[in-house]
Structure 1
Amino acid sequence: MGCVIAGGGPAGAVLALILARSGVEVTLLEKHADFLRDFRGDTIHPSTLQVLDELGLGEEFHKLPHHKTHQFDVLTDRGFGRVANLRGLPGRYDYIAFVPQWDFLNLVTSRAATYPNFRMLMRAEAHGLIVEDGVVRGLRYRDPSGEHELRADLTVAADGRGSALRRAAGLVPEELGAPMDVVWFRLPRVPGDPADTFLRVAAGNLMVSINRGDYWQLAYVIPKGGFERLHDRGIGELRERIGELLPYLAGRTGLLRGFDDVSVLTVVLNRLRRWHRPGLLCIGDAAHAMSPVFGVGINLAVQDAVAAGNILAGSLRSGAPIPDSALRLVQRRRMWPTRATQFAQRVAQNQLIRPALAGSPKVTQVPDLSRIPVLNRLIRRFIGLGIRPEHVQVGENRG
C-alpha cells in the first residue's frame, strides 16, 4: 500500500487527508479511542485557515464553535501593552481562531473518510518498525485484539514529541531547553470579564488567559520542574496566585477543588538533525517539539504535512519507490521555518519568561509595539503566517 501514518494529531490528520484526496492509499493510526483530550493546542492561525480553504474545509471549519482574536496583548501591573495587531495581514484572514483540537481533528478526518482509499484505525498504537535491507517497510502496532504489522511504501512518524517510531529508528532530537512548564485549568467566564485573550505578566508570575466563550482556558506558567513544589504548597497557593494576577477571577478559584482539576504540560523545545531514514519520515512534534510561545505548534505541524503531501503524493500514487532525495527535500523545506520559529521562541523565553519567573520588575513594562508600523508588520506576519507558509498544490483525484 502507499502510506501509513502513526499519530492522528494535526500533522498526521492533515497529511492523511491530502494524500487520500490525491488518490493515495493511506492508513492513519491513532492510539486513543477518540480525540477528546483537554488542554491540547487549539490556536488556528491564518496560515492554517488558508490551508483549510485550499482543502475545501474553510466553510465547515467556521461553523464550529470558535473565538477569534485579532491582537496579542500583554497585561502588566501598569496596564495593557500590545505585541501585535493582525489586522491588515495579507490574505483573507487577519485573526487567530481558537477551536478545540478535537473538533479540528474530527473535521479533517471526517473529510478524509469520504475517500475510499483512506482507512483510520483507532486504539492502534504504533510501537515499532518493519525494516528490511536497511529500508523501513511499514510498522508494528498493537490494538485491543493484539499485535499487528502494516506494510507500506512510506511510513510517517507523526506520533508526537515522545515518538515511538522516531526512537525505533534511532533518531534522537537535539534539546534546546525551556525554562518553564505550564499548569492548565479552566474557570467560568461571565459578563463583564475582558473580551480578548491575553498574557498576564507580573514579577514572579505569568498566566495566559484564553477566552473560550463561556469559560476561560488558563495557563499558569511555572519554573521548569516546579509543579511538585506547587503541589506541596497546596491548591490554596494556586488559587491565591490566580486572584492576585486576575482579580476578577478571585471569587471563582474555589471551583478548583484540587490538583485533579489541573493538567500539567512539561514544556519541551527540540528538533531532529535528520528527519528521515529510507522509507520513513518524521513530521510535526516527532520532528520538532515547539514551545507554547506564540501558540504556533499546530500550524508548524500542518505546514509540515502540506509540504510532505506536495512533495510525496505523486510518487506514492504511482507506486514508485520513495527516493531519499524526496524525504531530504521535505526536511530541507521545513527545517528553516522550524529553526527560525524556535529561535524566536528562545528569545521570548530568555527575554520575557525567564526574567518574569525570576521576579524581575523589568517585565512589568511592555510597550505598545503595534504602534510601530514596520515592526508591527513584521510581527503580525511572523505570528499570523509564519516563515514560508505552505499551500496545497496536490489536486483531488477520486478516480
Structure 2
Amino acid sequence: MTAGTQCVVVGGGPAGIVLGLLLARAGVRVTVLEKHADFLRDFRGDTVHASTIRLLDELGLGEGFRALPQSKLGNFRLPTGPGDSVVLADFGRLKAPYNYVAMVPQWDLLNFLVEAARQEPAFTLLMNTEATDLLRHSSGAVAGVAYQTRDPLTGSVVATAELKAPLTVACDGRGSVLRTKAGLVPHEFPVPFDTWWFRLPRTAGEDEPMSSISPRFGASDVLLSLTRKDYHQIAYLAAKGSDPQLRAAGVQAFRDKVASLRPDLADRVDTIESTDDLHLLDVKLNRLPRWHRPGLLLIGDAAHAMSPAGGVGINLAVQDAVAAARVLASPLLGETLDDGHLAAVQKRRWLPTVIVQTFQRVLHRVVFAQVMAGKQPKPPKPLVFVARNFPSFGKLPARMIAFGPRPEHAPEFARRKP
C-alpha cells in the first residue's frame, strides 16, 4: 500500500531497489517507482564487485545471489606491447570469498533483490510508473512526486496521480528528471570517448572458470571484452561524438575494426548483422556540488555519473544507498528528518565519489585521450617493473577496484541470517 508512504524512491535500478529493501527492513514505509514494465534491458552495468557481494552476505542473501547465472572476473591485464601484457589487478589475491568480480545480468540481480524486498510489509514497488514532477510545500520543500502510469502493452498513459512523502530520493540515473525539476545542474568533466556495446558468441572450447579483462588498442580505438556465461560482451571505444560516422560507414567496416583488434574473434563478426546491434553509451562524467534540497536527496548516477572505466558505477551507487539507509532510517521513523540528515549522506559519500572520479579522469587523460588522438599509450616503466617483479602488488589495485574507497557495511537493522 502507498498510503502513509514515508519515503518515495524514484528509479528501480540497483541503488533504488537496495535503498527500498534496507529502509523497509528498518520498518520505513517506502514506495519505489520504476517507469519500465520489467528490468529486461541489455548492456546495463552488470559487474557486481566484492563490496556488493559482501553486502549481500550481510543481508542474508549471499547464497541466493551465488545461485544466479554469472561468470567471474579474476584480473585486469594492462597491455605493454604487441602480444604482451602484465597483470595490474589480481582479484585472486584478495581474501576469499570476496576475491573476484561477478558478472551478473542486471535484470537477474534486480529481480532477485525485488523478491527479497517484497518479503518486507513496508516495501511497495510500482512498475510502469514514471515520476514526472516534484510536489512542493508552501515553503518550497519537496513534498513528494507527481507520476503517471502507462499501459505495459500500448505504452499509453492510463493514470496520473500524486504521491506525498516526507522524503523523495532520486535514483533515476544520469538523465534524472527529478534533478532537472529541482533545478540542480551537475558539473561536467570532459570525456574523450563514447562506448558501443555488442555481443559475440562463445564457442564450446572457450569455457573459462575465471576470465580477465585486457584492453586491445587500435590506431584510434579500443576494444574490451567481458566473458559472460555463454557469450562475449564487447565494448568498442572511439572518439566522442563519432556515432554518426561509425553508422554511416556501415556494418562491414565495423566488423573489420573488430576483427583487426581481436583476430581470434574474426570468425564470428558476421553475427553482427547491422549497426542496429551496436548499443551506444554516451559516456558522461559529472557530479552535483550539492546532492539535496529540503525533502529531496539524489544518489547514484543522478548525483554523480561515472565513466565505464573500472566498471564501478553500480557499486558506488549501491554504497550510496547503504549509507543513505543507515543515516535516514531513524529520523524517518521518528519523524525528525531535516536537511542536516541529507547533508550527512552527501558528506559520507563525497570523498569516495571524488577519489573514483579523479582516478577515472586520469585514465581518460593519460590513456583514452591519447588513443583517440592516434597515439599509443605507454604504461609507465616503473609500474610495469613493479607489476612484473612483485606480483603481490596486484592486490592493491584489485582491492581498490573490488571494494573502492570507504565501502559500506549493511546496517544492523537490515541484517538477516541466511
Shorter-normalised TM range: over 0.9
Q: Which residue of 2 aligns with 1:138?
A: 144
1:66 equivalent in alignment to 2:58: no
Kindly provide the CA deviation profile for residues 153-177 of structure 1, in whole angstroms up to 9, marking residues without a partner as x: 1100000010001111111100012
Once the two structures are superposed, the pairs formed by residues 75-86 of structure 1 within 5 Å of their partners are 75=79, 77-86=82-91
Name the aligned partner's letter for residue 326 of structure 1.
H
Kindly provide the CA deviation profile for residues 227-250 of structure 1, in whole angstroms up to 9, marking residues without a partner as x: 111111111111001111111211
Native 8 Å contact 2:217 2:376 kept in 1: no
1:125 paired residue among 125, 130, 140: 130
Deviates more, 1:23-32 or 1:198-207: 198-207
Where does structure 1 lack aligned partners over 5 or more consecutive residues?
none
Native 8 Å contact 1:74 1:201 kept in 2: no
Q: Which residue of 2 aligns with 1:304?
A: 320
Q: 1:365–1:331: structure 2 CA closer, same or farther, 3 Å change rule?
A: closer
Native 8 Å contact 2:189 2:285 kept in 1: yes
Give SS of 1:252's match.
Answer: helix
1:101 equivalent in alignment to 2:116: no
Give SS of 2:329's match.
Answer: helix
1:237 paired residue among 249, 253, 268: 253
Q: Which residue of 1 aligns with 2:162?
A: 149
Shift, 1:396, TM fit: 4.2
Aligned length: 397
Kindly provide the CA deviation profile for residues 5-59 of structure 1, in whole angstroms up to 9, marking residues without a partner as x: 0000011010000001111100000000000000000001100111111111111
Q: Which residue of 2 aligns with 1:387?
A: 405
Name the aligned partner's letter for residue 24 of structure 1.
V
Native 8 Å contact 1:369 1:376 kept in 2: no
2:41 paired residue among 23, 37, 42: 37
How far apart in 2 are the matches of 1:368 and 1:274?
A: 42
Kindly provide the CA deviation profile for residues 72-93 of structure 1, in whole angstroms up to 9, marking residues without a partner as x: 1235523232221112324630
Shift, 1:182, TM fit: 0.5
Q: Which residue of 2 aligns with 1:258?
A: 274
2:59 paired residue among 33, 55, 59: 55
Q: Which residue of 2 aligns with 1:204?
A: 220
Q: 1:206–1:365: structure 2 CA closer, same or farther, 3 Å change rule?
A: farther
1:284 paired residue among 300, 314, 318: 300
Deviates more, 1:46-55 or 1:66-75: 66-75
How far apart in 1 are the matches of 2:393 and 2:338?
A: 42
Native 8 Å contact 1:202 1:363 kept in 2: no
Q: 1:118–1:218: structure 2 CA closer, same or farther, 3 Å change rule?
A: same
Native 8 Å contact 1:205 1:221 kept in 2: yes
Shift, 1:178, TM fit: 0.9
Native 8 Å contact 1:30 1:124 kept in 2: yes
Q: Which residue of 1 aligns with 2:155?
A: none
Give SS of 2:199's match.
Answer: strand
Deviates more, 1:123-132 or 1:196-205: 196-205
Kindly provide the CA deviation profile for residues 171-205 of structure 1, in whole angstroms up to 9, marking residues without a partner as x: 11000121110011001011344842322223322
CA RMSD, aligned part only? 1.8
Shift, 1:330, TM fit: 0.2
Name the aligned partner's letter for residue 313 of structure 2.
G
Q: Which residue of 2 aligns with 1:27?
A: 31
Runs ≥4 residues deviating over 6 A:
none
Q: What is the aligned-residue identity percentage?
A: 48
Shift, 1:66, TM fit: 0.5
Query: TM-score scaled by structure 2?
Result: 0.91
Shift, 1:373, TM fit: 5.5
Deviates more, 1:108-117 or 1:197-206: 197-206
Once the two structures are superposed, the pairs formed by residues 357-372 of structure 1 within 5 Å of their partners are 357-363=372-378, 367=384, 370-371=387-388, 372=390
How far apart in 1 are the matches of 2:351 and 2:336?
A: 27
Shift, 1:297, TM fit: 0.5
Native 8 Å contact 1:22 1:394 kept in 2: no
Query: TM-score scaled by structure 1?
Result: 0.95
1:113 paired residue among 118, 133, 136: 118
Q: Which residue of 1 aligns with 2:230?
A: 214
How far apart in 2 are the matches of 1:26 and 1:72?
A: 39
Shift, 1:369, TM fit: 5.6
Q: Which residue of 2 aligns with 1:334?
A: 349
Where does structure 2 lack aligned partners over 5 or more consecutive residues?
151-157
